[in-house]
Amino acid sequence: MDASAIISSLNDAQRLAVSAPDRATLVLAGAGSGKTRVLVHRIVWHILINHIQPHNILAVTFTNKAATEMRNRIESLLNISTRSMWIGTFHGLAHRLLRQHSKLAKLPETFQVMDSDDQLRIIKRLLKNLNIDDTKWPPKQLQWFINSQKEEGRRARHMESNGDIYYRQMLAVYQAYEELCNRSGLVDFAELLLRAHETLRDNEELLNFYRSRFQQVHVDEFQDTNTIQYAWLRLLTEGKDNLFVVGDDDQCIYGWRGAKIENIFNFQKHYPGHQVIRLEQNYRSTGHILRAANTLIANNEGRMGKELWTDAGEGQPLSLYTAFNEQDEAHFVVEKIRLWAREGGLRSDTAILYRSNAQSRQFEERLMTTATPYRVYGGLRFFERMEIKNALAYLRLMNNQHDDASFERIVNTPTRGIGAKTLDNMRSLAREQQLSLWRASQFMLEQKQLSARAASALQSFLSLIQKLGQDSTDLPLHEKVKFVIEASALLDLYKKEKQDKGETRVENLEELVNAARLFDYQNNNDDEENLSELDMFLAHATLEAGENQGEAEEDCVQLMTIHSAKGLEFKLVFMVGMEDGLFPSQQALDDVGRLQEERRLCYVGITRAMQQLYLSHAESRRLYGKDSYPRPSRFIREIPEDLLQEIRMRANISRPLSTSPNQSQKISNNSAYRLGQTVRHAKFGEGVVLQTEGEGAEEKVQINFRNEGIKWLMLAYAKLEKA
Ligand code: ATP
Ligand code: MG
């Protein structure tokens, strides 16, 4: 590509930013104005015009998905490989730094990253060990306390132990928690950032190496950096003129995780020679969508103030749907998407955005019943979940018996009666003789140093690992994974675990098989490094935080929280669950600061839509096992009425009607059933038809059974007899 093309597809303000001379630069602009595009073109500019090597460039984005997209865009613009360029999230890059310099970071080489579930579990265990009353010091609160200290760069030892007993106790737990993590080589998410910062700060040589390596540093979504992330950036760039950040104060949505809008002001203070560039044209959305977003966000105070305009035309009005419950909402949304697809639209251009992960279930069910392909993003980092890490540890150990981290991880998962003493002896033997744990245990068995029970438990573990390897040699990758999950008894372990937790873990294991299947498929012909397919898959699992795992080739509807939709765009967007108490959340209803953050979140959601935006709310909702009758979200009321078009409830989806015997009209034109018609079901007995929904094979019927109450049934399966 020739240089002029980097510039020709930009407007003047964007060009100014892309070609700016080296100087700390802040691009401050609203949603859809091309900030990310500017960032990508700026990198391309450096490579093409300033002849900077990809190796000398650092780019930080907010999600792995965004990082991959950025990499792809740069590669397609330049037609070169950008493998040596550091592009990633703060967490991903910090992780990379710690892995490469684990010694300087004072971490064991095999340190494990734990997700917030694992972290919470450890805190709970700690409270028990320390005999601390977990009603006075709830584990979640402690977790929040610990993480926020780390996000501010504070270690327990830096903090003064005065204040009330409540505070002192929290501090004591923080300290004990740090000790435990250090002892066992565990690193939580906040620790990744803090430790990476400390490692650079305290090792001058290392810092100088990276300061000169990263000649140009770029940050997307700068408004959401927290204290420690910003400190990290400063270490690398302060006193130089190579920091280029883009952001939008109206899209700061991670305040609850320590993000600081103030960093935008701090930037202006810490980089005195900086320049600010504003972009005002929006290229993403239609006029109606943009006006809705602008009007909504105008209700916030203390904004830096930005104007956005578009020449894309008004487009269609926004649609508002009032569902009678959450199932009806899901039904409505999925029908609209299916219509879109039938008319030739891509499913991947559609997104269902919700406030909290728990809301996805209804939509997933509906998408499944209608056989509509979909993909759920976000939630916890997939490959970092405990059950996934356990399954991967089996695969790793099977692949390399001397992988001590994996050995440690699963030697007693599921429990097989290998005692702490046996393990301790094994560890000292391994340390003294410089053996892997695997060799050490073989040695102990040969020397008959163990009790009969311990020996047999250990022997059966070693045999199991060997047998897993032998029996799966000829299987394709995904079957190998499946085989190992089953034969290791991990699957059974989680099946027995109580409640949703176990269920989710089982689902995740199934998803791992799926990820392996898709990986297998995408990498069939990729033989460039001399690695087995399993090797490649395992490396992929370590390096990817998992947002992209198993991304199907198939055309899928996109489901995610509004938080994880940041930076993305879709032609057709559904913002669902627009209800007071859900969005804005209950806590935000009586806290102005939080309400403003929720409003920014709503602004982010609205501005994801390119062509069409649907808002929906339900009159009754069951969530977290409770029924509620919420009011429509105040955010709906903040959107000018003339931009909103109300969609009526469909006649055949309504609240149950009273069933008077002389009503004999058909419920809907295409249903074979009448309102109030008496029917008989093999299991539920006799009842009367209240309403039907859907058509053909998907027709459902709601019946009030004399003895069983009201039920919805799929007509095709219900085998009803007309009485
Ligand atoms: P957000 O705040 O949501 O992250 P953004 O400011 O990063 O948004 P981009 O995602 O970079 O915006 O751009 C929004 C859309 O507008 C993209 O589809 C992008 O390709 C397009 N776009 C940006 N600038 C131009 C331009 N000069 N000409 C044509 N399309 C453009
Ligand atoms: Mg962006």
What CATH number has the domain bearing residue 719?
A: 2.40.10
CATH code at 403?
A: 1.10.486.10
The reply to whether 361 belongs to the active site is: no
- Give CA–CA dist 463/692, Å, rounded: 58
Question: Best mutation site among 15, 18, 28, 37 for ligand 1, i.e. most ligand atoms within 8 A of its Cβ?
Answer: 37
**Is residue 614 in a domain?**
yes
Q: What is the DSSP string of 517-574?
A: HHHHHHTTT---SS--HHHHHHHHHHH--STTTT--SS--EEEEETGGGTT--EEEEE
348 or 627: which leads in pLDDT: 348
CATH code at 589?
A: 3.40.50.300
- Highest-confidence range of 382-391, 604-613, 616-625, by mean pLDDT? 604-613
What proportion of the chain, given as a percentage, has pLDDT over 70? 90
**Using CB atoms within 10 A of its CB, is residue 242 exposed (0-12), middle (13-18) or buried (19+)?**
buried
Q: Record the pTM.
A: 0.73
**Is residue 309 in a domain?**
no
Of 647, 673, 689, at which residue does a domain stop? 647
For 333-346, the pLDDT digits (tens) are 999 999 999 999 99
pLDDT of residue 662: 36
Q: Which amino acid is at 219?
A: V
Residues of the binding site for ATP: 29-36
Q: Ligand 2: distance of its center to the CA of 450 in Å?
A: 60
Of 596, 621, 647, at which residue does a domain stop? 647
| 260 shares a domain with 202 | yes
Question: Which tokens go with 290?
Answer: 């943009």
Domain that holds residue 123: 112-184
What is the 8-class DSSP label of residue 345? Answer: -
Ligand 1 close to Cβ of residue 248 (< 6 A) = yes
Give the pLDDT mean for 187-202.
94
Q: Which amino acid is at 569?
A: E
Residue 523 has pLDDT above 50, yes or no: no
Of 624, 647, 670, at which residue does a domain stop? 647
Which candidate, 575, 549, 540, places its Cα nearest to that of 560?
A: 575
Residue 55: which residues within 8 A CB-CB, separation 6 or more? 84, 85, 213
Give the pLDDT mean for 607-622.
94
**Is residue 308 in a domain?**
no
**Is residue 581 in a domain?**
yes
| 468 shares a domain with 576 | no
Residue 617: which residues within 8 A CB-CB, separation 6 or more? 321, 322, 323, 329, 577, 578, 579, 630, 632, 633, 636
| 376 shares a domain with 408 | no
Which candidate, 611, 610, 587, 609, places its Cα nearest to that of 598?
A: 587
Residue 521 has pLDDT above 80, yes or no: no
**Is residue 487 in a domain?**
yes
Question: Best mutation site among 19, 36, 307 for ligand 1, i.e. most ligand atoms within 8 A of its Cβ?
Answer: 36
pLDDT of residue 261: 85
16 or 652: which leads in pLDDT: 16
* Tally of domains in the chain: 5
The reply to whether 608 belongs to the active site is: yes
For 619-643, the pLDDT digits (tens) are 998 776 678 899 999 999 999 999 9
The reply to whether 221 belongs to the active site is: yes
Ligand 1 close to Cβ of residue 35 (< 6 A) = yes
- Give CA–CA dist 573/579, Å, rounded: 17
**Is residue 67 in a domain?**
yes
The reply to whether 35 belongs to the active site is: yes
Complex ipTM value: 0.99
Which one of 115, 151, 221, 598 is the catalytic residue?
221
